[in-house]
Amino acid sequence: MTPLRQRMLEDLRVRNYSPKTQEAYVYQVAQFARYFNRSPEELGAEEVRAYQLQLIKGKRTSWSSFNQAVCALRFLYGTTLGQSWTVEQIPFPKQPRRLPSVLSPEEVERLLAAVTNRKHRLVLMVMYATGLRLSEATHLQVEDIDSARMVIRVRQGKGRKDRLVMLSAVLLEELRSYWRWCRPTRWLFPGSTPAKPLHITAIQKACSRARKAAGIQKPVSCHTLRHSFATHLLEDGTDLRLIQTLLGHQSVTTTQRYTHVATPHIVATTSPLDRLHLVAAGPDL
């Protein structure tokens, strides 16, 4: 390990960045250095700009990967190397605004019914019942289920924050039945090695197979259940700030995007075409 990489890792740890973020930032900086075949200490603003343009031209780079590279380089030059030009010369890209894919309640029923593995089905059910991210659901521990208070404790979610979400009565019965069948000890959803939680890839594959089996044509991922949870709560009249808290969003702006896919107000709005008195069209000539 080079001294620069070691110093950057130490800076990340001191600031309590998650192990996953540490790994991602170090990887992005390594890719940057590999592109120029030089140490980042020998590179500057012009090279960063050229690298950003190359990522854009590559076309296969997603927005999230591009944004991650920018965050990593900002941290490297701004924090670890203490360069004053960082903020001005490494701009954040403008994120594409896309509406999340949302399932109807009937589609959620079909999707869950199509999951053949009991454990996988329950993980997806937890995501829809609580709005948890996939990694948060798979890392639940048995003691996180508080049936006395009817809440679930989420440990160190995104942003390294704990939070509480509601425990549905229906979900509680499913969990009790599952516990009697599986008898988990530490992890609620243990993997093939009981000492480790179930790997997220297993759930992603199960969700993909279930979408096809259920005949759902729209794009569906595990995260779609989180989107559906938030949208259905909003459609039922739940306060936006409460949904923000349940989802663990730092800003309500992130939560507000669900107002664009909640349908009751849209469907209830009269189109101006309906106010016109149009003459019925005659038969085609």
Which is it for the CA torsion 38, 44, 47, 53, positive or negative? positive
Render the burial of 256-281: b for 16+ CB within 10 Å, e for the rest. Answer: eebeebbeeeeeeeeeeeeeeeeeee
Examine the residue annotation and report whether 158 is marked as an active-site residue of this protein.
Answer: yes
Catalytic residue among 119, 120, 121, 226: 226
Catalytic residue among 5, 153, 209, 223: 223
Contact 147, 172 (CB under 8 A): yes
Cα–Cα distance, 35 to 31 (Å, whole number): 6
Catalytic residue among 25, 128, 178, 258: 258
Catalytic residue among 133, 139, 163, 227: 133
Examine the residue annotation and report whether 49 is marked as an active-site residue of this protein.
Answer: no
Examine the residue annotation and report whether 223 is marked as an active-site residue of this protein.
Answer: yes
What are the helix (H) ranges across the chain? 3-14, 19-36, 45-58, 63-75, 86-89, 105-113, 118-130, 134-138, 169-182, 200-214, 222-235, 240-247, 252-255, 264-268
Catalytic residue among 153, 158, 199, 209: 158
Examine the residue annotation and report whether 133 is marked as an active-site residue of this protein.
Answer: yes
Catalytic residues: 133, 158, 223, 226, 249, 258
